[in-house]
Amino acid sequence: MAVIEALAVVIIVLLAIVTVLIFAAVIGASVLVTVAVRREERLRSLTSKAPGWTARLARMLLAVPAPRIADEIFPRPRPAEKPAWYERSTGSTMDGPSSDT
């Protein structure tokens, strides 16, 4: 009986340690992202290279795609307002040709 009680105490202690570690990881990630976002906004650098290791780590944590260096040298052309295939037809194509007989 003493073995079961000792095992239960060990399991409860391990669960408490895991809970504290997960809580600390969530709080740490929140603080990291908050600091990095404030710096990115202040420097307006979200579309360029990360300004520091905190911003780089936060981008990696949030899965923000890294900007390509080639885009700074050769910017991509911006798309037109509406694509060519977006044009609307003026009439219905389901009725077929109209005949006045």
Q: What is the pLDDT of residue 59?
A: 86
Is position 81 within any domain?
no
Q: What is the pLDDT of residue 101?
A: 54
Is position 16 within any domain?
no
| Full-model pTM | 0.55
Q: Work out how many domains the chain is built from and give that number.
A: 1
Is position 8 within any domain?
no
pLDDT (tens, 9 = 90+) of the chain, 101 residues, equals 889 999 999 999 999 999 999 999 999 999 999 999 898 888 888 778 888 888 888 888 888 877 666 666 666 666 656 656 666 666 666 655 555 55
Instruction: To the nearest 10°, report the CA torsion of 38, 40, 42, 68.
Output: -170
Gap between the Cα atoms of 17 and 27, Å rounded: 15
Residue with tokens 């981008």: 59
Is position 33 within any domain?
yes
Is position 27 within any domain?
yes
Q: Which domain holds residue 40?
A: 23-69
Is position 12 within any domain?
no
Asked if residue 48 lies in contact with residue 67, where contact means CB atoms within 8 angstroms, the answer is yes
